[in-house]
Amino acid sequence: MLVHSKGARRAVWILFFVLFLPVFALPLLVIVAASFATSWSGALPSGPTLAHYQDIAHGDAGQALLTSVLTALAASAGALTVGTWAALAAERLGRRARRLVDGLFLLPVAVPSVVVGLSLLVAFSQPPFLLNGTPQIVIIAHTVLVTAFAYQSVTAALTRLDPAYEQSAAGLGARPGYVLWRVKLPLLLPSLTAAAGLCFALSMGELSATMMIYPPDWMPLPVQIFATTDRGSLFAGAALAVTLMAATLIVLLGVSRIRTKAAYR
Amino acid sequence: MPRTDTAVRADRVDAAGVADTAARTVPDPDPGPPAPTKRRPAGRSKAGWVLPPVAALGLVFLYPLALVVWQSFTPEDGGHSTAPYAAVLAEASFRDALANTVLIAVGATAGALALGLVLALVIAFVPFPGGRALSRFIDIFLAFPSFLITLALLFLYGTAGMANGLWTDVTGAASGPLDFLRTPWGVLLAEITYFTPFVMRPLLAAFSQVETGQLEAAAALGARPWRIIRKVILPEALPSLAAGGALVLVLCLNEFGIVLFTGAKNVVTLPMLVYTKAILDGDYTGACVVAVVNIALSVALYALYRTVVARTAPRSGSRTGGVRRRAGA
């Protein structure tokens, strides 16, 4: 509607795809292509193979994928609980207190993830909390990093929520706990599942804080990808990256399905 | 004033929040109508509900951060002083890292703003079939970790990659001309690629609020597209552009995965320096000093960003969505 002549419009679209394709589409495609290749010396990769994926099925990578999924599940569950609780409680606060809680829960977004890792390393390597070298410290780090997103999406959903439902339930004599459980949480369900998907995806890809604190027996997939590419096995690394993307996508798609289901309930 | 209850309460959640504060903080010598006496204990118990999550956050986030600050003032040889700061600030590697971090972050932000603005303008105002699918694709793109981009760039522009392979195929030369990935330019390209969607999301939200009628009227009055963009669209989108830019600046200052995967010895940023000092050198005090500098820089900028968002939010009505995603890596 901004450009009316047909030729000019076509020119704009061509410019768009010249910018868009190499920047967004190509990176994902080359990783997929490379994961099936053994070398890349020409314009296209060569030596098609499935060996990288077979290695994943047999080697440490499967363990790394499982580690990542477990970490992401635990972290999203924790983040969702804490984030939802905080958002629900903050909604009731006065403006100033609310702004303070907002600031506190969004702070992890501003603090570099590497520093979050460092701080956990410093804090939990000394009494009273000795967690250094355990899987728990990785899960805690991921939870800290994704809680901000859970908090924020629930807060945003709460401001969109029509207070009339809650009020009429309360007006009909429902106790606050009942209103929360039977009215508010069901209304929030779509946002909660979307937030869960987001938290899971972010936790699956977390590298910065994890690099600081992972113990040798709890090595998530991104760290494994780094270790693999760092020793020069770029193509095996690409296969791992595809695995990571696929696992993330499956969960996101699953969640978006729940979301549409919930929206029609 | 706050006790014109139902009307105020039904209004909006925010408004209700204000009414609550007023009811609780204004000292009220004369109880007046029964509402406040009833509400006061409820208000206190409601405030109590926020304590458990805040305590949890304090234990796993604020307490560790405080320890980092504490450790940064604790030299290896005991006591507490600012000596670690003097030592780290005197290091050339620290100053290089600081300069690198700021330069790369500013460059990447400028690049992401420019690219994001162009792409969002086309998606919003020169619509084409599949444009919606594209913006959904960008959403998915945001769910992936940043280091994948560096990995992809290795296959695209690396010494043995698509672009150089194309060159050697066509010209028959032994090696391609592109070899910039292990320089700051490689990091810059990766960051622009990864962070452009963070600019596009709030921009697309803002563009969707521009009235088509205004554009049509401007066009009917003979304004050229460029002029319409400058005079009608940009003023509307400026807050979102500022918010997106500030967010990307913070995220670039904190970016670690891209720099780590680049693997270049001469591209060291502050987060990279924190990692090197703590994990590779075992110098925790030094790492904490760098961390404190990095936190100060990022948190100050993030506060600025929140102010911009807070100022734009009432006007655009939606929380611009820009913050929603921060990829962990």
State what percent of residues in chain B have pLDDT above 90.
22
A24 at interface of B, judged by CB pairs closer than 8 A: yes
* CB environment A211-224: b (16+ within 10 A), e (fewer): bbbbeeebbbbbbb
- pTM for the whole structure: 0.82
pLDDT of amino acid B29: 43
The interface predicted TM-score of the complex, written ipTM, equals 0.85
Same domain, B40 and B88: no
| B156 found inside a domain | yes
Who wins on pLDDT, B314 or A83? A83
CA count, 13 A, side-chain hemisphere, B277: 25
Residues of chain B neighbouring A119 (CB-CB closer than 8 A):
61, 64-65, 67-68, 291
What does the pLDDT average to over A72-77? 95
First to last CA, chain A: 37
Domain that holds residue B294: 83-324
Structural domains of chain B, count: 2
Write a three-state SS string for A134-195.
Answer: CHHHHHHHHHHHHHHHHHHHHHHHHHHCCHHHHHHHHHCCCCHHHHHHHHHHHHHHHHHHHH
pLDDT in tens, B256-279: 999 998 877 778 999 999 999 998
Where does the pLDDT of residue B236 fall: very low under 50, low under 70, confident under 90, or very high at 90 and above?
Answer: confident
Same domain, B16 and B110: no
Same domain, B278 and B224: yes
pLDDT in tens, A166-191: 889 888 988 888 888 888 888 888 88
> Which amino acid is it at A94?
G
Structural domains of chain A, count: 1
Residues of chain B neighbouring A237 (CB-CB closer than 8 A):
151
Contact assessment for residue A52 and residue A236, using Cβ atoms and an 8 Å cutoff: yes
Residue B38 has pLDDT above 50, yes or no: no
CA count, 13 A, side-chain hemisphere, B109: 21
| B65 found inside a domain | no
CA proximity to B214, closest of B226, B192, B229, B198: B229
- Between the ranges A94-98, A137-141, B141-145, where is the mean pLDDT highest? A137-141
Where does the pLDDT of residue B316 fall: very low under 50, low under 70, confident under 90, or very high at 90 and above?
Answer: very low
Same domain, B110 and B205: yes
| A25 found inside a domain | no
| A20 found inside a domain | no
CA proximity to A47, closest of A58, A56, A39, A55: A39
Domain that holds residue A115: 59-264
| B97 found inside a domain | yes
| A9 found inside a domain | no
Same domain, B21 and B153: no
Name which of A34, A90, A103 is nearest B50 (Cβ-Cβ): A90
Same domain, B125 and B245: yes
CATH of the domain at A229: 1.10.3720.10
pLDDT of amino acid B314: 53
Where does the pLDDT of residue A87 fall: very low under 50, low under 70, confident under 90, or very high at 90 and above?
Answer: very high
Residue of B nearest to A246 (CA): B144
Name which of A34, A114, A249 is nearest B275 (Cβ-Cβ): A114
pLDDT in tens, A218-235: 999 999 999 998 888 888
| B116 found inside a domain | yes
Same domain, B288 and B168: yes
Residues of chain A neighbouring B25 (CB-CB closer than 8 A):
94
| A10 found inside a domain | no
pLDDT of amino acid B44: 53
Please report the number of interchain residue pairs, chain A to chain B, with beta-carbon separation below 8 angstroms.
333
Same domain, B169 and B119: yes
CA proximity to B206, closest of B229, B239, B228, B242: B239
Residue B2 has pLDDT above 60, yes or no: no
The nearest CA of chain A is from the CA of B159 a distance in Å of: 9
Name which of B115, B151, B215 is nearest A31 (Cβ-Cβ): B151
Q: For chain B, give the mean pLDDT.
A: 78
CB distance A202–B137 less than 8 Å? no
Same domain, B145 and B6: no
pLDDT in tens, B320-329: 343 444 333 3
CATH of the domain at B111: 1.10.3720.10
pLDDT of amino acid A141: 94
Same domain, B121 and B19: no
Same domain, B224 and B286: yes
